[in-house]
Amino acid sequence: MTLESLLLEKRADIVRGWIDRTLALFPASTGVFLRTTEDRFDNPVGEAIFSHMGPLFDALLENAPREAVEPHLDPIVQIRSIQDCSASEALSFVFLLKDVLRQEAGDALHDSRGEPLREFDGRIDRLALLAFDRFIGFKQKVYEIRIKEIKNSVSTLLKMSNLTCDDPK
């Protein structure tokens, strides 16, 4: 049995374990909320995790190109980029998949040669690098929006105090 066929067979358990470990990164009360609140407007974080982790795992299984991965990675990373946490905390969910793989398919993984597992670990590592690139891009957008808001506020204050500011850019 190939590694991909084993992972496909255990897909439901792997995805469930990955989601469980990802939700465990949040405080306990938040984790309960994320699991139990189903409305995507009340719970965009939970919706992103539950809706996109499975397809993200599938994309890894298929060794899909970046363009196929980003639509499932971006919603999770976007939300994590505006939360008050470091990049390592925000993106640690990617690396949790390695632990889940070994837990869910442990014995069978040890029976197979190490090369397929190393290759799949490489896919996860590349996903982490892509997640980091996307995270930085989203953070930069947030900072640009904040800077624009500050400039507009200063411009408004100057106008209100009868001082001039021709271009808030």
CA 82 to each of CA 21, 87, 94, 164: distance values in angstroms, whole numbers, following the listed order? 20, 11, 17, 34
35-73 residue pLDDT tens: 888 788 889 999 999 999 999 999 999 999 999 999 999
> Is 107 inside any structural domain?
yes
The Cα–Cα gap between 35 and 38 comes to 8
- Domains identified in the chain, total number: 1
Where does the pLDDT of residue 164 fall: very low under 50, low under 70, confident under 90, or very high at 90 and above? low
Q: How far is CA 52 from the centre of its chain?
A: 9
Structural contact between residues 100 and 21, judged by C-beta atoms closer than 8 angstroms = yes
> Is 42 inside any structural domain?
yes
DSSP calls for 71-83: HHHHHHHHHHHHS
Structural contact between residues 33 and 46, judged by C-beta atoms closer than 8 angstroms = yes
124-146 residue pLDDT tens: 999 999 999 999 999 999 899 98
- AA identity, residue 82: I
Q: Full-prediction pTM beyond 0.85?
A: no
Quick check: 149 pLDDT over 70? yes
> Is 51 inside any structural domain?
yes
Domain that holds residue 28: 3-138
> Is 57 inside any structural domain?
yes
> Is 35 inside any structural domain?
yes
3-state secondary structure 15-62: HHHHHHHHHCCCCHHHHHHHHHCCCCCCCHHHHHHHHHHHHHHHHHHC
153-162 residue pLDDT tens: 888 888 888 7
Mean confidence (pLDDT) of the chain: 88
